Structure 1
Amino acid sequence: MPVFSGTAVREAVPPLRAYEAVRDAFVRHARGEWTMQPKVYVSNYPAGDFRAMPALGGGHALLKWVTSFPGNPARGLPTVTGLVLVSSAETGELEAVLDAAAVTALRTAAAGVIAVEALGRGGSSAVVGCGVNGAETARLLRARGGDPLVWDVDPARLAAVSEDVGARPAGSLEEALAADAVVTVTPGREILFRSGSLRPGQHVSLMGADGPGKAEVAVEELARATIFCDDWEQASHGGELAAAVAAGVLRGTAVRQLGDVLAGAAAGRTDDDEITLFDSTGLAIQDLAIALAALDSARDIGLPTLAL
């Protein structure tokens, strides 16, 4: 059974391959071919939380056990750690173990950029937050032919990611937030888009507020935008939209799922002045897509194996 370290995951699944795999997973999920249940949170507030995420599709089953501990970087530890387990859907046999942080970075970047291309109107782009997931997002935007601005609260991290990815550092947070398409990949503890700040025609992929109590945009701004999400059942109680749902200002009938847009079952952007927001809570079917793409390349990259 192959064991994929983080380095092996990234070697097996280049950014453009991740993009295609996750886009296909969105469509398969929208058509009911791949299934999943909403993630289960095991909270250890305020330190962080644990998440269990199952999925089934393509002849395989997946379970992702992953953490999010925002204070870890100050301790010299990664925010995200965990494992992805892939099994045969026919026999139940365990087929592979993968590093969850690398899988998460690839699928988070892919989802954010897919939303930019499906819901944006073109023009300038920016990534706010240069952690592991933000860096991967900027890398994918570059691979897709973009020239994104990047911004981070940590000047050293901003400089390192700018050089590594070949992206342009923004002079300020405000400059980055003014781009035509913005992907926010922050811990979700601070509102970035305050009331009245979104511009006509702007698109924002909100990737950081992936759990209860997190937000990157003011609730008032949701009323000004056309709202999209990755999965309504999950997003309605565990992400950026949860506060608006609880306040009674947002209902599921007003929210479209990105997979439905990609599958042609729902409308995307309808005019150039429309503000579009995509709320990403992170789906197990996206992790399954990355894991299966990695398995396709396993023989080519000489992985260590584990005998159970």
Structure 2
Amino acid sequence: MAVLFFSGRAVEEAVSPHEAYDAVRAAFVAHHRGEWTMPPKVYVTNYPAGDFRAMPALGGGHALLKWVTSFPGNPARGLPTVTGLVLLSDAETGQLEAVLDAAAVTALRTAAAAVVAADVLARPGSSSVAVVGCGVNGAETARMLVARGQRPLVWDVDPARREAVAGRLGAEVASSAAEALGCDVVVTVTPGTTVLFPEGSLADGQHVSLMGADGPGKAEVAIGELRRARLFCDDWEQASHGGELAAGVEAGLVGRDDVTDVGAVLAGDADGRASAREITLFDSTGLAIQDLAIASAALAKAGELDLPTIAL
């Protein structure tokens, strides 16, 4: 049996930022309605080095398994933080249809989730947007914002990296971290080891998509700031155990009734922002249904690409 293989470049060629946005938005709604299903991701940890994650999902005629790593110290070794594979199968026959580079799929779905959440939760009339963290996923988020007609500020602790991303994508380098973190809309895509928003720092009316704290012990916002904000997440089961909200849950500050799934807002079954002054926080832990959305969109374009195959 021959199985299609999508390299990282092939994934990017197959799925444009606009297509990724639409696919992930639709997947959020399908998951909320129970049309697409997934169990919470499984972590196999080797801290402090990093962790391995197994993520299955079912929907749209396909089944998916993503085996992916997160090793934050890898860039210092000249290695990528995220590596792995996505396996996409036919849900009716069980036959493997395609193998995809997990890093490229992850970057597209992370960017799409961040921007979808910002679009539905940000204050109307928000005029400034920033991406903090210019690694692979942060750069993809900036690329998606640019593709959607915005010119984001970008910031990274590495001056060369932020300059390179801004120059390549047509974004603008923020004058400081404070300028980026003070924008109306902020997407944080960092390793999650440093709190970016200390207590009292979030501004009235601000929206932040928190994309980096996707595992135990990680945080991009101080726990006290959770009390000041309206809270949203991609999936409560994951977020309450391994996301930005987990510390608040453990401390008894955050419960299920305090958090709204963004899929419910997109489906029209829950309210989003209640006022212009309200602070909104979106906690993203990364969902297998998002990966399924990107992988399915890529497979639909297979006939337009010259893809290699793997003989099994």
TM-score, structure 2 as length reference: 0.98
What are the superposed Cα offsets for residues 133-170 of structure 1, whole Å, 9 maximum, x if unpaired?
A: 00000010111111110000000101100011100000
- Number of equivalences: 308
Which segments of 5 or more consecutive residues in structure 2 lack a partner in the other structure? none
CA RMSD in angstroms comes to: 0.5
Q: 1:262, 1:307 → 2: CA distance?
A: 41
Q: 1:164 aligns with which of 141, 150, 168?
A: 168
Q: 2:8 aligns with which of 6, 9, 12?
A: 6
Give 2:71's aligned amino acid: F
Instruction: Find out whether 1:296 has 2:300 as its counterpart.
Output: yes
Partner of 1:269: 273
Q: 1:146, 1:31 → 2: CA distance?
A: 31
Q: 1:144, 1:156 → 2: CA distance?
A: 25
Instruction: Find out whether 1:210 has 2:214 as its counterpart.
Output: yes
Q: Alignment partner of 2:87: what SS? A: strand
Which segments of 5 or more consecutive residues in structure 1 lack a partner in the other structure? none
What are the superposed Cα offsets for residues 236-274 of structure 1, whole Å, 9 maximum, x if unpaired?
A: 001100000000000011100000000001100111000
Partner of 2:236: 232
Report the Cα offset of residue 306 of structure 1.
Answer: 1.3
Structure 1 segments of 4 or more deviating over 2 A? none
Q: 2:49 aligns with which of 34, 47, 50?
A: 47
Q: Alignment partner of 1:49: what SS? A: strand
Q: 1:258, 1:165 → 2: CA distance?
A: 28
Instruction: Find out whether 1:24 has 2:17 as its counterpart.
Output: no
- Aligned positions of 1:1-308 closer than 5 A: 1-121=3-123, 122-308=126-312
TM-score, structure 1 as length reference: 0.99
Q: 1:55, 1:253 → 2: CA distance?
A: 26
Q: 2:273, 2:253 → 1: CA distance?
A: 21
Q: Alignment partner of 2:198: what SS? A: coil
Say which is worse superposed, 220-229 or 116-125, in terms of deviation: 116-125
Q: 1:203, 1:97 → 2: CA distance?
A: 36
Q: 1:12, 1:263 → 2: CA distance?
A: 27
Q: Alignment partner of 2:167: what SS? A: helix
Q: 2:48, 2:258 → 1: CA distance?
A: 32
Q: 2:136, 2:16 → 1: CA distance?
A: 15
Report the Cα offset of residue 301 of structure 1.
Answer: 1.1
Give 2:58's aligned amino acid: L
